[in-house]
Amino acid sequence: QRIIKLQIPEATENGSEISCVKFANNSLNFACGTSDGMSMIYDLRTSHPIITKDQGYGFGIKKIIFLEEN
């Protein structure tokens, strides 16, 4: 069993908090949203986000949904 520390990008270190978390069905990816509108997607095999997106509105992320391919 292994525990990993995930790195949060510097853009979110200004007092914002993680506001939601969602694991993908593949069990390797997970996403989190912050109280200042940032979204990050992680591959659990690495400690840094593979995608970081500022939603541009400044509002907190309340829900994350992964869309599955057909």
Spatial contact of 34 and 16, defined as CB atoms under 8 Å apart? yes
Count of the separate structural domains present in the chain = 1
φ and ψ at 65, to 5 degrees?
A: -130, 130
HSE on the CB side for 35, CA within 13 Å?
A: 6
* 34 falls within a domain: yes
Is 32 part of a structural domain of the chain?
A: yes
| Stated pTM of the model | 0.76
Distance CA 57, CA 70 (A): 31
Mind listing the pLDDT tens digit for each residue in 27-39? 899 999 999 899 9
Tens of pLDDT, residues 14-64: 678 889 999 999 889 999 999 989 999 999 888 889 999 998 888 999 999
pLDDT of residue 44: 87
Q: Give the structural domain span for 28.
A: 10-54
Nearest residue to 32 (alpha-carbon basis) of 2, 6, 4:
6
Does residue 16 lie within any of the structural domains?
Answer: yes
Residue 59 lies in a domain: no
- Asked whether residue 4 is assigned to any structural domain, the reply reads no
Residue 61 has a pLDDT of 94
Rg (CA), the chain: 12
For residue 1, pLDDT beyond 60 = no
Whether 27 is in a domain gets the answer: yes
